Amino acid sequence: MTDIAKKPIKITETILRDAHQSLIATRMTTEQMLPIVDTMDKVGYHSVECWGGATFDASLRFLKEDPWERLRKFRDGFKNTKLQMLFRGQNILGYRPYADDVVEYFVQKSIANGIDIIRIFDCLNDMRNLQTAVKAANKEKGHAQVALSYTLGDAYTLEYWTSIAKEIEEMGADSICIKDMAGLLLPYKATELVKALKETVKIPIQLHTHYTSGVASMTYMKAVEAGVDVIDTAISPFALGTSQPATEVMVETFKGTPYDSGLDQKLLAEIADYFRPIRDEALDSGLLNPKNLGVNIKTLLYQVPGGMLSNLTSQLKEQNAEDKFYDVLEEVPRVRKDLGEPPLVTPSSQIVGTQAVFNVLMGERYKMVTKETKAVLSGEYGKTVKPFNKEVQKKCIGDKEPITCRPADLIPDELDTLRGEMAQWSEQDEDVLSYALFPQVATDFFKYREAQQTKVDATVADSKNGAYPV
Ligand code: CO
């Protein structure tokens, strides 16, 4: 292969999912999003990422919103634009592996309610954890995009990435995403990686990164020059910092070049004008922390994702142990090595981070071991790229025999049991899936929903009484 054909770069807008997840703890409400949907629909984005990731949990838990209802409203509004979601492989949008029947049903319902593209990743890059979701997406005629969880370490060579890319293509994925959740992909490394992937597979390659370490725009530029097909950007008021590079900046950068996206800056300016007051309000209320907007150079030094840094800070604060921050930061890579050097992305980032905090606070490593650390060392999350530290494994799980098969092979179908448990709350087919992911949070939401309904019924009854006095 010599020259890579020049072509317009396609853009996925992340404002409705990752941008607000990264900057304001996923707190944007459906009501705040809907008024701009019409304008966004005119832009001609490759897709709009608007669902999945933490949005599902945050909607139910903090916003008291039905995430399925939000998705249906997006589908009504976006008549011409593909809707995209983020999906944690066998962990769906939750924190543990689920049975295949739940994964299949979730994919089916996501597509039925309006999702076009499902970006599926596994926190260990264990391809076996992606098979069920990819097959289900193929079956429902959705676009199955498989994401490589990008990370650094001895095991993560170009050969490693191209070999799993090949597996992904063979698995039946429609495209591949390089998912750089921590902003670790440096510009010239992007050139190498994108070139190597383009030479290995035929399906399109998308790049997702975060600005956390300050290199993201340069990384996109090099990746685009190397032939990447799609990049993820956020409209400027919710760009940069722990979020993505700004949409308008990327569009302007490639204007008049063979990579020209063709997107209209006037429309983008309207969208930015719409979101700017929401940003200002979040700054005023403290929901948007200015600390998250700068360059966090520790990300490059410690290779810890931005979201994980803020989790560690708050965990230590709760324990009145903020002075241990740097000890914990140095413990993170050691725990990661003990656990087979996985990428740090939900849920492995939380598992490694929490264990590192325990190791430091207890004054003895693995004196206290979380349930999740034990599960990882027992093979229950899947296979890691490197072997576990045998001594640590023995200390944590004793003589228990770790599993080596695809973890979900050992999980019996769950849907019927779940349906039985939540039958009294069910108002739509999708409710059982909300319950499967977050049993307690979903139940609280169902109760809230019922109480609201009772209130509405009472109001209607009152107004009727008023209209027809008895
Ligand atoms: Co992201």
At 154-204, the pLDDT tens digits run 999 999 999 999 999 999 999 999 999 999 999 999 999 999 999 999 999
Q: Is 469 within a domain?
A: no
pLDDT of residue 292: 85
Q: Which amino acid is at 436?
A: A
Q: Is 461 within a domain?
A: no
Q: Which amino acid is at 73?
A: K
Same domain for 330 and 425:
no
Q: State the CATH number of the domain containing residue 77.
A: 3.20.20.70
Q: State the CATH number of the domain containing residue 353.
A: 1.10.472.90
pLDDT of residue 359: 98
How many domains, in total, are found in the chain?
Answer: 3
pLDDT of residue 465: 54
pLDDT of residue 470: 42
What confidence tier does 310 reach under pLDDT thresholds 50, 70, 90? confident
376 Cα: distance to centroid of ligand 1 (angstroms) = 23
The domain boundary residue, chosen from 387, 404, 421? 404
What confidence tier does 304 reach under pLDDT thresholds 50, 70, 90? confident
209 Cα: distance to centroid of ligand 1 (angstroms) = 6
Q: Is 25 within a domain?
A: yes
55 Cα: distance to centroid of ligand 1 (angstroms) = 12
Q: What string of H, E and C letters represents the secondary structure of 97-163?
A: CCCHHHHHHHHHHHHHCCCCEEEECCCCCCHHHCHHHHHHHHHCCCEEEEEEECCCCCCCCHHHHHH
Structure letter (DSSP) for residue 172: T
Q: Is 33 within a domain?
A: yes
Rounded Cα gap, residues 11 and 20, in angstroms: 17
Tokens of 388: 């576990």
Rounded Cα gap, residues 346 and 58, in angstroms: 15
Q: Which residues surround ligand 1, an ion (CB under 5 A)?
A: 18, 181
pLDDT of residue 463: 60
101 Cα: distance to centroid of ligand 1 (angstroms) = 27
- 290-299: b (≥16 Cβ within 10 Å) or e: eebbeebebb
Rounded Cα gap, residues 196 and 255, in angstroms: 26
pLDDT of residue 311: 79
pLDDT at 313 over 90: no
pLDDT of residue 2: 43
Same domain for 397 and 423:
no
256 Cα: distance to centroid of ligand 1 (angstroms) = 29
pTM of the model: 0.93
| All residues at 6 or more sequence positions from 429 whose CB lies less than 8 Å from its CB, including other chains | 109
Average pLDDT over residues 299-317: 80
Q: Is 309 within a domain?
A: yes
Range of 449's domain?
A: 412-454
More confident residue, 461 or 356: 356
pLDDT at 96 over 90: no
pLDDT at 305 over 80: no
Q: Is 460 within a domain?
A: no
318 Cα: distance to centroid of ligand 1 (angstroms) = 26
Same domain for 167 and 36:
yes
210 Cα: distance to centroid of ligand 1 (angstroms) = 6
275 Cα: distance to centroid of ligand 1 (angstroms) = 19
Q: Name the percent of the chain lying above pLDDT 70.
A: 96
pLDDT at 461 over 70: no
Rounded Cα gap, residues 271 and 34, in angstroms: 12
* 3-state secondary structure at position 441: helix
- 303-312: b (≥16 Cβ within 10 Å) or e: bbbbbbbbbb
At 40-72, the pLDDT tens digits run 999 999 999 999 999 999 999 999 999 999 999
242 Cα: distance to centroid of ligand 1 (angstroms) = 9
235 Cα: distance to centroid of ligand 1 (angstroms) = 15
Torsion of CA 54, 56, 61, 67, to 10 degrees: 150
Inter-residue contact 26 to 64 (CB < 8 Å): no
Average pLDDT for the chain: 94
333 Cα: distance to centroid of ligand 1 (angstroms) = 21
pLDDT of residue 284: 97
Same domain for 351 and 269:
no
Beta bridge partners of 48: 13, 83
Tokens of 456: 């509405």
214 Cα: distance to centroid of ligand 1 (angstroms) = 15
pLDDT at 1 over 50: no
Same domain for 277 and 254:
yes
pLDDT at 4 over 60: no
pLDDT at 232 over 50: yes
Average pLDDT over residues 439-451: 97
Rounded Cα gap, residues 171 and 135, in angstroms: 8
Same domain for 323 and 218:
no
Rounded Cα gap, residues 361 and 364, in angstroms: 8
pLDDT at 468 over 60: no
355 Cα: distance to centroid of ligand 1 (angstroms) = 23
401 Cα: distance to centroid of ligand 1 (angstroms) = 35
pLDDT at 346 over 90: no
328 Cα: distance to centroid of ligand 1 (angstroms) = 23
Rounded Cα gap, residues 46 and 87, in angstroms: 19
Burial of 458 (0-12, 13-18, 19+ CB in 10 A): exposed
List the one residue out of 383, 197, 211 whose CA is nearest residue 305. Answer: 211
Same domain for 358 and 285:
no
Rounded Cα gap, residues 447 and 437, in angstroms: 17
| All residues at 6 or more sequence positions from 315 whose CB lies less than 8 Å from its CB, including other chains | 353, 354, 357
366 Cα: distance to centroid of ligand 1 (angstroms) = 30
Average pLDDT over residues 244-248: 98
Rounded Cα gap, residues 367 and 374, in angstroms: 12
Q: Is 466 within a domain?
A: no
Same domain for 418 and 389:
no
Same domain for 339 and 259:
no
Tokens of 448: 């809230």
Same domain for 282 and 329:
no
Rounded Cα gap, residues 307 and 212, in angstroms: 10
Q: Cα–Cα distances in Å, from 289 out to 96, 212, 263, 336, 470?
A: 30, 14, 30, 28, 57
List the one residue out of 148, 152, 83 whose CA is nearest residue 118. Answer: 83
More confident residue, 468 or 303: 303
Q: Name the percent of the chain lying above pLDDT 90.
A: 87
Q: Which of 72-76, 200-204, 302-306, 400-404 has the lowest mean pLDDT?
A: 302-306
More confident residue, 312 or 142: 142
Same domain for 233 and 312:
no
Structure letter (DSSP) for residue 425: G
Structure letter (DSSP) for residue 322: G
pLDDT of residue 454: 86
At 351-364, the pLDDT tens digits run 999 999 999 999 99
Q: Is 5 within a domain?
A: no
pLDDT at 306 over 80: no
181 Cα: distance to centroid of ligand 1 (angstroms) = 5
Rounded Cα gap, residues 202 and 198, in angstroms: 7
pLDDT at 245 over 80: yes
39 Cα: distance to centroid of ligand 1 (angstroms) = 24
13 Cα: distance to centroid of ligand 1 (angstroms) = 12
Same domain for 213 and 157:
yes
